[in-house]
């Protein structure tokens, strides 16, 4: 294979661009997955707005700070 200098430079430039793009996509995907996983267990207290994580199957959780009752999955709804 006859590889000239310009071909080599082009190959290195495009190769590094592809590597950076690939790394960005992978890191973005991993970050989004981690965030959505942690958001699934996150509960924000409607009384004191304390955010905590709950891994139980209970629908009603006591806030560890003010011990108010919080319904899981409805913390974002206003009113
Ligand atoms: Zn609370």
How many angstroms does the Cα of residue 39 sit away from the middle of ligand 1? 18
- Could you state, in order of their start, the residue ranges of all structural domains in the chain? 1-40, 42-79
Give tens-digit pLDDT for 5-30. Answer: 999 999 999 999 999 999 999 999 99
Distances (CA, A) of 44 to 1, 22, 56: 62, 35, 15
Q: Tokens for 50, please give them.
A: 């304390």
How many angstroms does the Cα of residue 78 sit away from the middle of ligand 1? 16
pLDDT value at 50 more than 60? yes
Give the pTM. Answer: 0.48
How many angstroms does the Cα of residue 56 sit away from the middle of ligand 1? 17
How many angstroms does the Cα of residue 62 sit away from the middle of ligand 1? 8
How many angstroms does the Cα of residue 41 sit away from the middle of ligand 1? 16
């Amino acid at each position: 294979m006859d590889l000239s200098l310009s071909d080599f430079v082009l190959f290195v430039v495009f190769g590094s661009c592809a590597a950076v793009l690939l790394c960005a996509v992978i890191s973005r995907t991993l970050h989004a997955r981690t965030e959505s996983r942690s958001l699934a267990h996150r509960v924000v207290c409607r009384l004191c707005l304390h955010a905590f994580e709950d891994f139980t199957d209970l629908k009603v959780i006591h806030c560890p700070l003010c011990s108010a009752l919080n319904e899981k999955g409805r913390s974002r709804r206003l009113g």
